[in-house]
A = this chain, B = another copy of it.
Amino acid sequence: MIRASLQQVIAPEDAAADHTSLDPQDWTELRAQAHRMLDDMLDYVATIRQRPVWTPMPPDVRQHFRADISRDPVPLAQVHREFMNYVLPYAGGNVHPGFMGWVQGGGTATGMLAEMLAGGLNANLGGRDHAPIEVERQMVTWVRKLFDFPDSASGLFVTGTSMANLLAVLVARTQCLGKAVRRDGVGQSGLRAYASAAAHGCIAQAMDLAGFGSDALRLVPVDASFRMSMEALRVLIAQDLAAGLRPFLIVGSAGTVDVGAVDDLRGIAELCHEQGMWFHVDGAYGALGMLSPFVAPQLEGLSAADSIAFDFHKWGQVPYDAGFFLVKDGSQHHETFASPAAYLRRETRGLAAGSPWPCDFGPDLSRGFRALKTWFTVKVHGADAIGAAITRSCELARYLEKRVSASPALELIAPAQLNIVCFRYRAADADRVNSRIVVGLQESGIAAPSVTTVNGKLAIRAALFNHRTREADLDALVDGVLRLGAEGK
């Protein structure tokens, strides 16, 4: 056996013989420093409540990053100190329970540790036959079962739902126009897609990037609950058909970004079936609601989708970034992306075995090990605990809604459908006043909601995604809004 001779090539750990290796000269020193770094980060997460949600960067901090990076090495301890002094205190704030500004999860220590393992392993998940890809496949199976998709389904980690929605447009395109579109381009194919006017902008962008142009996405008016109007949708499709265009894709939103509306997924599924169209669901944060007994019934029809896009870094609390794309018929997914290449030759044995590879299902050949932090998060916390945190965030939204409704000075702009509440301080010049309140709250460090526009009204948006958020954080938000509103009158 050739394997037995392996010992012959093992050289002693002789850093001196290896000038150009980037391994440390002294592992003991590196190790001590590494443990300090780990302790600092655990402290950061464990004591996050003692910090402001967000702190504006003073000019000298911003200036610090305008300097040139020297070509010479800087000791790790010093770079770490720079991180502690200039980066950590001025982070975006989504680890903090007072962060409610945008749809971002809070992360966990578990996810952080898994990222450390992934960083050391340095796996490329593009292809080849190794265990990290099996971890990703196990997550694909888990996702497939969560959404009640068949064995033939395929899935892939991507950066986020913006990317996953682009992949959905591409797969739907191939399904409609056939594989030749990959060679011939989209030309004047007259394809039209449909999504709610409240859908995320990345869907129009996906149509743009895929060559159809954003105008090839029809934005369908919403009803009073901000759900896509099925009637208007049918009318638009009929008009396009009459004009000789080709309706090929409907994107349902499972949790709109502004108010958390869920489209009539069952209705869209039936319409797609009837018209031979692709049914994709943008479930950026909402889809993982399947884990929550409270949210799951609101997602009825989701399993009838042809594809689903969602993020583990939102309600799933996995550290950024960990988006996911799931396709019911894996062969259509494969047909859209697989390409032959001499340097990607497959074998039945050795490192080049294990085909198909993830790179056959998406545009990335270089792919980090997003699956590991997701695998750790789901296993260590358990799907039920993640589901409970999702349910809790919806309960908190109801608590906030109640507090808003009980305050005569406040106006509810959009009631909580899931875990997002839009409201504002009543004032003559409400847009300006509420915009100022939100900036004031962010700068106070107490809470970080954001601003959006609903039905033409500027609203304070509280999106409750952090698993650490409690009633007290919402009380602080409401009290802060009332105080800053009164001050500004």
Contacts and interface: CB of A to CB of B under 8 A. Distances in A.
Interface string A194-221: 0000001110111111111111100000
Interface in A401-460: 435, 438-440, 442-446, 448, 450-453
A171 to B, nearest CB: 11
A73 B188 contact: no
A16 interface: no
Contacts of A381: 22, 73
Contacts of A440: 2
A112 to B, nearest CB: 4
Q: Chain A: interface residue count, which band? A: 35 or more
Given A201-B344, A367-B160, A71 B383 contact: yes
19 contacts: A9-B475, A21-B468, A23-B468, A57-B130, A62-B134, A64-B134, A68-B142, A87-B132, A94-B124, A111-B122, A112-B122, A188-B188, A201-B344, A205-B337, A205-B339, A311-B366, A343-B461, A350-B443, A351-B442
A109 B446 contact: no
Interface stretch (A178-186, A227-235, A238-246): A178-186
Contact of A162 (B313, B364, B475): B364
A392 interface: yes
A123 B91 contact: yes
B37 A42 contact: no
Interface stretch (A98-106, A274-282, A326-334): A98-106
Contacts of A5: 446
Interface stretch (A247-255, A264-272, A296-304, A314-322): A314-322
B363 A444 contact: no
A484 interface: yes
Contacts of A453: 342, 345
Contact of A131 (B10, B61, B170, B207): B61
